A and B are shown apart, each in its own frame.
Chain A
Amino acid sequence: MAAVSAARAAVPIAVERVSKRFGAVQALVDIELRVGAGEFVGVIGPSGCGKTTLLKMIAGLLPVDAGRIVVGDRVVTGPGRECSVVFQDFALLPWATVQKNVEFGLLLRGVPAAERAQTARRAIAKVGLSGFEGAYPSQLSGGMQQRVGLARALAVTPRVLLMDEPFASIDEQTRRLFQDDLLRLWSEERMTVVLVTHSMEEAIYLADRVAVLSPRPGRVHEVLDVPLPRPRETAEVRGTADFARLVDGLWKILRKLQ
């Protein structure tokens, strides 16, 4: 199944002793995080712990002050072709249709128009938005807009998918369905995923491991294993005692950090 859609293989990420400072504020100190190829890692922590900063540095949007980040075999010095990002506020072009939004990454990467249109239509179908190709973002609900954001990210067949609180502004019911779809797509596409979130349930439900960051300055406080069986989207994992125990364990760690 993986070989059909993913022409490119997932790659590992290594964050090695990375520090970042904004003026007088030390945002992150000596961050050490390794994500295996095809692994799904959640990053959680109190507000202001620098989790979005970490994600932006992996994406090459922000330079590191010290240390280095390696994605695949490339030391990150700027945005690279391996990574796609899903943004908290969706980051859709308000003046472009769903189709054009999903094509946008392909357009910037120089994919010819016909292939662009076809690839985008496929990505739109994957996220369940077929029929909405001609709609503008303002005509869609928040959940649908983020599906467009995900389709745009998937259209470039990324080896690494970076997600910055993608479900934060989506209502609970939509969010759960969307999380299941994300897990299904991840198992089909074989990407390495780093997901920044502030939801403990979300981190436990989606990730193989959860990195807990401590605030001011941000450090990796602990990395929690999530030994829940997969596929989780078809089983009723959210209702199990194991799930509840893991969420509670995460809460106990986070409570001490507040």
Chain B
Amino acid sequence: MTPRAAGEPDVGRAGLAAVGGLLVVWEIVGGLNVSMFVPPISQVAAAWWRLLGDGTLARAAAGSLASLVRGFVPAAVLGVVVGLAMGRFATVRYLLDGWVNALMSAPLSALVPVLIALFGIRDTVVAATVFMFSFFVIVVNTMTGVRATERSLVDMARVFGAGETALFGRIYLPSALPAVMLGLRLGVVQAVKGMVVGEMLISLVGLGERLIYYGNTFLITELYAVIVSVLLIALATAQLAQVVDRLLVRWK
């Protein structure tokens, strides 16, 4: 994983254009009445507006976002700490590398039943799922960033008398920062996935519960309205992460 390259196109703007194009096609196809599973987007928008008005979405989203924060914040803090330790200390890396790699590529949804057994059917399961989904990508990116630190920068700092603490704080940490931020950006995307997966599997709280409910009762326009909400949350968090990234890594 490398930090964002200069001259990369504005992902946000390109994404909006693509979404806009899809919406037009969707409205046309929906208007042709092909299937009950493709309602016109205008009806979805109306349903979304209604659910927003009666507080359904706000209630569900508030629950979801609470779980997102409760899972992602510990994942970010712990992920960065573990990643820094793995990047800097070979012993820690040898101990944890296998686990991190195995769990990063594992289908983690399979572990949600274990979490349910552990925590019971509660929103803690959702937070734990969020944590699990986002933790490993943050660890791996942070570790990679630390390990990619230029050898000559370390030599340079040592020439001027830097000890371990100064090396860590003034060379390794700032060197790794772009990769750490990339890890957090990828992590927050994973976190939203974890949030939805967790809520759908326990089908008790949040937007995930609404998805299952409207899906099972064939309220297709409402179902799409919730899906749109989930997408908006995913986009918003990704954008927020990008803004934070740009503020912290201005020198790139």
Cβ-defined contact, B156 with A85, below 8 A: yes
Give B218 Cβ to nearest chain A Cβ, in Å.
55
The answer, yes or no, to whether B65 is at the interface (CB within 8 Å) is no
A84 and B158 CA atoms in complex are apart in Å by: 10
Give per-residue flags for B124-160: 1 if the beta carbon is below 8 A from chain A beta carbons, else 0.
0000000000000000000000000010110111111
Q: How far is the CA of A197 from the CA of B155 in the complex (A)?
A: 19
Docked pose: A93 CA to B166 CA in angstroms:
14
Kindly report which residue of chain B lies nearest to residue A59, judged by CB atoms: B159
Q: Which residues of B contact A61 (CB under 8 A)?
A: 155, 158-159
Q: Decide if A56 is an interface residue (CB 8 Å cutoff).
A: yes
- Indicate if A81 sits at the interface (CB-CB under 8 A): yes
Question: Do residues A95 and B153 form an inter-chain contact, with CB atoms below 8 A?
Answer: no
What 1/0 mask marks residues of chain A from 90 to 134 whose CB sits below 8 Å from any chain B CB?
010111100000001100110000000000000000000000000
Given A81-B161, A108-B160, A108-B161, verify A136-B155 contact (CB < 8 Å). no
Q: Does B177 contact A (CB under 8 A)?
A: yes
Q: Which of A84, A93, A105, A109 contacts B174 (CB 8 A)?
A: A93
Q: Are A136 and B251 in contact (CB under 8 A)?
A: yes
| Complex partner residue of A108 from B155, B166, B177, CB under 8 angstroms | B166
Closest B residue to A61 by CB, please name it.
B155
B45 close to A (CB within 8 Å): no
Q: Is the CB of B156 within 8 A of A87?
A: yes
> Main secondary structure on chain A at its contact with chain B?
loop
**CB of A40, distance to nearest CB on chain B (Å):** 20
A156 touches B177 (CB 8 A): no
Q: How far is the CB of A57 from chain B (nearest CB, A)?
A: 12
Q: Is A85 in contact with B161, judged by CB distance below 8 angstroms?
A: no
Question: Are B158 and A91 neighbours in the complex by a CB distance under 8 Å?
Answer: no
Q: B251 touching A94 by the CB < 8 A rule?
A: yes
Query: Do residues A95 and B177 form an inter-chain contact, with CB atoms below 8 A?
Result: yes
CB contacts (< 8 Å) of B170 on chain A: these are 104, 108
Q: Would A156 and B251 be within 8 Å (CB), given that A85-B155, A87-B155, A95-B174 are in contact?
A: no
Q: How far is the CA of A88 from the CA of B152 in the complex (A)?
A: 9
Known contacts A91-B152, A95-B174, A95-B251; decide if A109 and B161 are in contact (CB<8 Å): yes
- CB atoms of A91 and B160 under 8 A apart: no
Q: Which of these, A89, A96, A136, A156, contacts B160 with CB under 8 Å?
A: A156
Closest to B157 in A: A108
Is B162 in contact with chain A by the CB < 8 A criterion?
yes
Q: Interface of B with A (CB < 8 Å)?
A: 150, 152-153, 155-162, 166, 170-171, 174, 177, 249, 251
Q: List 28 A-B contacts (CB under 8 A).
A: A56-B155, A59-B155, A59-B159, A61-B158, A81-B161, A83-B159, A84-B159, A85-B159, A87-B152, A87-B155, A87-B156, A88-B152, A89-B150, A91-B153, A91-B156, A93-B153, A93-B171, A95-B249, A104-B156, A104-B160, A105-B159, A108-B160, A108-B161, A108-B162, A108-B170, A109-B160, A109-B161, A156-B160
